């Protein structure tokens, strides 16, 4: 062994753990880490603002199942990144964040841009620590990668003082983190299934972390074999082929009221991986935590999550994917097949577009895009009323074709689309964004161009923060305050970034715009929407 500076030790550990790509906004506080990356074939996606970089890193973790890695500098760099860490924690996404810190010798003096990251990030992440000895970097990094992926996955923060990174140490590397392979006894899994099938109105609810394409296939096979209906939680619609006859819709913001009623009426739930939080239960109104009134069979990888809100009748601390693998070839049939058929019919009826005001109609746009790409594309979005159209009318067929924040974070769609295109350069990647949502991370168009992420951004422009305006009209009708927006000329903006812009003021403009986008390059497609349109069912 020979002495290496801390940045080199860090970069070597990343390579050992199979990291292929990191996201960053450079800062002088981690120059040694940048120097360490110079010697490795680890792609460094240099972003324009730490919030966008954090969301790209989170989306990378969501897409790959491996920790997204983020580098940000001290003070404002770290605080800018906090929104992306909140997404990762809410969405149970593995993520490792390295934050530059003032020199250890200057700590607790209120030095330039000094922040106590243990205290600042602890409520937002699984673990926040500061490395105070160069020789312990491998130990801390190994622990960070383990914690980010164990139990309920999530973000981990390591603060790196400048002098710890630049100092040299003679220390051996640690090997790659080895996560234990979960094994579920087939008889135990069958026992849960038998209890579910013993009821008259059973339902599977799928969601949460740790899913794979194989888990999706296993879920579809289980539904086919048993006849059970399958619902998914908020923004987990790609966990089952939406064309499957047993898929009955998503339990989330703007859910089908008939599906919500069916969740209330169900007498037994097998919850696979989900936490069953506020969004899935319409603010806990569909299932009362104090008196659920149904059998709850809860499967979750983290035993500490089971029973947090709803006391289960029976539970299993294991990843949903492992339980589904144990149920391959499982026996049993639902008592009344009409329960599933009726639920599926409710879903199909909900899919029929409901007409909204204006010449450009979001319901038609989403159905056109969904039908056009038919499982080939990856879709991303942030938050806003426009997203309700995506939830309702898009159909997902392949696993990990939906990349969206269950935390409801605005600004997420564009950074997520960039991360998705970098990971899947041969597939169409389409970002749906509202005009308010897009402008929160608009500067990352520069990142897309720099790294060749040829994405298509469909902008729902209604000139306002539509969700807030809707609530405003509900509570304070006719008193518009603080919800109007100014928009740039998106056609010219696209051109300024070396892309192509398209203005859609009538539905027959959409097809040619998508034709052009399919030819490659960065494309912004602006939908000029009627400002009176608020949601899939409501207008001013």
Residue 473 located in a structural domain? yes
Which strands make up the sheet holding 456-461, listed edge to edge? 402-403, 378-381, 429-434, 456-461, 523-528, 500-504
On whether residue 461 sits in a domain, the answer given is yes
- The answer to whether 86 and 124 are in contact (CB under 8 A) is yes
Cβ-contact 316, 323 below 8 angstroms: yes
DSSP for 81-129 reads HHHHHHHHHHHT--EEEEEEE--GGGTTS--TT---HHHHHTTTSSEEE
Question: What region does 282 belong to: left with phi over 0, alpha with psi -120 to 50, or beta?
Answer: left
What pLDDT is recorded for position 476?
86
Going by C-alpha positions, the residue among 260, 235, 214 that lies closest to residue 222 is: 214
- By CB neighbour count within 10 A (0-12 exposed, 13-18 middle, 19+ buried), where does 450 fall? middle
| Mean per-residue pLDDT of the chain | 95
Among 293, 327, 349, the domain boundary falls at 349
Helices (H) then strands (E): counts for the chain: 20, 20
Q: What pLDDT is recorded for position 113?
A: 80
Q: Is residue 536 part of a domain?
A: no
CA 44 from chain centre, in angstroms, equals 21
Residue that the structure tokens 């469909």 belong to: 458
pLDDT digits (tens, 9 = 90+) for 303-327: 999 999 999 999 999 999 999 999 9
Q: Give the integer Cα–Cα distance in Å for 472 and 489.
A: 27
Please, are residues 529 and 462 in contact by the beta-carbon 8 Å criterion? yes
Return the pLDDT at 1.
62
Shared domain check, 125 and 221: no
pLDDT at 470: 76
Sign of CA dihedral 469, 473, 475, 478: positive
Check pLDDT > 80 for residue 442. yes
Phi-psi region of 279 (alpha: psi -120 to 50; beta: other; left: phi over 0): alpha
Say whether both 491 and 387 belong to one domain.
Answer: yes
The count of domains in the chain is 3
Average pLDDT over residues 490-512: 97
Reduced to 3 states (helix: H, G, I; strand: E, B; else coil), residue 443 is helix
Structure tokens at 336: 């009344």
Per-residue pLDDT, 533: 80
Q: Which two tokens stand for residue 432?
A: 């749906």
Angle 122-125-130 (CA atoms, 0-180°, nearest 5)? 55
Shared domain check, 367 and 297: no
**Of 134-138, 152-156, 285-289, 534-538, where does mean pLDDT reach its minimum?**
534-538
Q: Cβ contacts of residue 438 below 8 Å, gap of 6+?
A: 382, 411, 413, 414, 457, 459
Phi-psi region of 384 (alpha: psi -120 to 50; beta: other; left: phi over 0): left
Query: Bigger pLDDT: 463 or 3?
Result: 3
Can you name the residues that pair with 403 across neighbouring β-strands?
380
Q: Which two tokens stand for residue 169?
A: 């140490």
Which pLDDT does position 482 carry in this prediction? 78
Asked if 344 contacts 246 with a C-beta cutoff of 8 angstroms, the reply is yes
What sign results for the dihedral spanned by CA atoms 432, 154, 322, 226? Answer: negative
Whether the per-residue pLDDT at 166 is higher than 80: the answer is yes
How many CB atoms are closer than 10 A to CB 198? Answer: 13
**Mean pLDDT along residues 28-38:** 95
Q: Check residue 260 and give its pLDDT.
A: 97
Whether 207 and 263 share a structural domain = yes
- 381 alpha-carbon distance from chain centroid: 9
Greatest Cα-to-Cα distance within the chain, rounded to the nearest angstrom:
72
Tell me 173's DSSP state: P
Does 114 score more than 90 pLDDT?
A: no
pLDDT mean over 403-414: 95
Do 321 and 370 fall within a single domain? no
377 and 328 belong to one structural domain: no
Q: What is the CATH number of the domain that holds 129?
A: 3.40.50.970
Both 384 and 301 in one domain: the answer is no
Confidence of residue 530 (pLDDT cuts 50, 70, 90): confident
The last residue of one of the domains, among 349, 364, 389, is: 349
pLDDT reported for residue 127 = 98
Q: Quick check: is 534 in a domain?
A: no
Q: Mapping DSSP to helix (H, G, I), strand (E, B) and coil, where does residue 474 land?
A: helix
Taking CA atoms, 25 is separated from 67, 133, 240, 371, 390, in Å, by 18, 25, 36, 38, 31
Q: Is it the case that residue 111 has pLDDT exceeding 90?
A: no
Kindly state the tokens that stand for 140: 């801390």
Percent of the chain with pLDDT over 70: 100
For residue 217, what are the contacts with CB-CB under 8 A and spacing of at least 6? none
Query: Which residue from 245, 236, 177, 174 is spatially nearest to 211, judged by alpha carbons?
Result: 236
* Residues β-bridged to residue 429: 378
What's the rounded Cα separation, in Å, for the pair 345 and 340?
A: 9
Angle at CA 398, nearest 5°, toward 396 and 404? 60
pLDDT of residue 462: 85
Is 300 part of a structural domain of the chain?
yes
Give me 31's structure tokens: 């120059």
Same domain, 387 and 514: yes
**Which CATH number is 295's domain given?**
3.40.50.1220
Taking residues 530-534, what's their average pLDDT? 81
Q: Is residue 535 part of a domain?
A: no
Res. 450: pLDDT tops 80: yes
Q: How confident is the model at residue 144 (pLDDT cuts 50, 70, 90)?
A: very high
- Of the residues 125, 143, 169, the one at which a domain ends: 169
What pLDDT sits at residue 408?
87
Show the tokens assigned to 480.
């518009």
Confidence band of 193 (pLDDT split at 50, 70, 90): very high
Per-residue model confidence (pLDDT) at position 160: 97
Q: Is the dihedral of CA 261, 280, 222, 347 positive or negative?
A: positive
Q: Is the pLDDT of residue 255 over 80?
A: yes
Is 74 inside any structural domain? yes
Smallest Cα–Cα separation from 206: which of 185, 192, 220? 220
| pLDDT exceeds 80 at position 420 | yes
Reported as a single tens digit per residue, the pLDDT across 359-388 is 999 999 999 999 999 989 999 999 998 999
Task: State which residues form the domain around 522.
Answer: 353-528
Same domain, 200 and 345: yes
d(CA 252, CA 8): 45
- Both 264 and 232 in one domain: the answer is yes
Residue 479 backbone class (left: φ over 0; alpha: ψ -120 to 50; beta: rest): beta
**Res. 511: pLDDT tops 80:** yes
Confidence class for position 231, pLDDT limits 50, 70, 90? very high
CB atoms closer than 10 angstroms to residue 47:
28
User: Tens digit of pLDDT for each residue in 328-366?
Assistant: 999 899 999 999 999 999 999 999 999 999 999 999 999
411 and 365 within one domain: yes
498 in helix, strand or coil? coil
Residue 206 CA to chain centroid, in angstroms?
Answer: 15
In this structure, the answer to whether residues 329 and 198 fall within a common structural domain is: yes
Output the six-digit token pair for 450: 């720099």
pLDDT at 484 over 90: no
């Amino acid at each position: 062994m020979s002495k290496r500076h801390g940045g080199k030790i860090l970069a070597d550990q990343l390579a050992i753990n199979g990291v292929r790509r990191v996201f960053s906004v450079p800062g002088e506080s981690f120059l040694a880490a940048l120097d360490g990356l110079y010697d490795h074939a680890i792609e460094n996606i240099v972003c324009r603002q730490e919030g966008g970089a954090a969301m790209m890193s989170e989306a990378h973790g969501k897409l790959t199942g491996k920790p997204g890695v983020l580098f940000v500098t001290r003070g404002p760099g770290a605080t800018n990144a906090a929104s992306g860490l909140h997404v990762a924690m809410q969405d149970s996404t593995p993520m490792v964040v390295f934050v530059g810190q003032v020199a250890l010798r200057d700590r607790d003096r209120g030095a330039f841009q000094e922040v106590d990251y243990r205290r600042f990030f602890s409520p937002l992440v699984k673990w926040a620590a500061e490395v105070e000895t160069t020789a312990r970097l491998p130990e801390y990094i190994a622990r960070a990668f383990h914690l980010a992926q164990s139990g309920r996955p999530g973000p981990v923060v390591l603060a790196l003082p400048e002098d710890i990174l630049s100092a040299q140490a003679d220390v051996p590397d640690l090997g790659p983190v080895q996560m234990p392979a979960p094994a579920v006894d087939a008889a135990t899994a069958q026992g849960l299934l038998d209890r579910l099938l013993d009821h008259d109105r059973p339902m599977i609810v799928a969601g949460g972390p740790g899913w794979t394409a194989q888990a999706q296939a296993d879920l579809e096979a289980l539904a086919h074999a048993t006849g059970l209906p399958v619902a998914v939680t908020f923004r987990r619609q790609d966990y089952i082929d939406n064309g499957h006859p047993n898929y009955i819709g998503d339990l989330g913001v703007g859910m089908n009221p008939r599906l919500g009623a069916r969740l209330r009426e169900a007498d037994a739930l097998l919850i696979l991986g989900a936490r069953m939080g506020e969004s899935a239960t319409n603010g806990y109104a569909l299932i009362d935590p104090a008196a659920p009134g149904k059998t709850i069979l809860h499967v979750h990888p983290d035993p500490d999550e089971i029973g947090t809100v709803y006391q289960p009748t029976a539970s299993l601390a294991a990843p949903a994917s492992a339980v589904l693998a144990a149920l391959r070839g499982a026996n049993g049939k639902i008592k009344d097949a009409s329960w599933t058929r009726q639920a599926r019919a409710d879903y199909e009826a909900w899919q029929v577009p409901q007409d909204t005001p204006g010449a450009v109609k979001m319901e038609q746009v989403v159905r056109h895009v969904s039908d056009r790409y038919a499982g080939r594309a990856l879709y991303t979005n942030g938050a806003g009323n426009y997203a309700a159209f995506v939830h309702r009318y898009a159909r997902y067929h392949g696993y990990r074709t939906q990349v969206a924040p269950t935390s409801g974070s605005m600004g997420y769609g564009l950074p997520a689309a960039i991360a998705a295109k970098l990971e899947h350069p041969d597939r169409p990647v389409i970002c749906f964004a509202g005009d308010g949502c897009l402008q929160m991370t608009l500067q990352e168009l520069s990142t897309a161009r720099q790294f060749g992420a040829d994405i298509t951004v469909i902008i729902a422009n209604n000139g306002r923060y539509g969700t807030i305006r809707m609530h405003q009209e509900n509570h304070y009708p006719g008193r518009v305050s603080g919800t109007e927006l100014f928009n740039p000329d998106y056609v010219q903006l696209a051109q300024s970034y070396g892309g192509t812009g398209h203005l859609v003021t009538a539905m027959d403009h959409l097809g040619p715009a998508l034709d052009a986008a399919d030819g490659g390059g960065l494309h912004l497609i602006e939908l000029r929407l009627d400002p009176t349109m608020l949601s899939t069912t409501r207008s001013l």
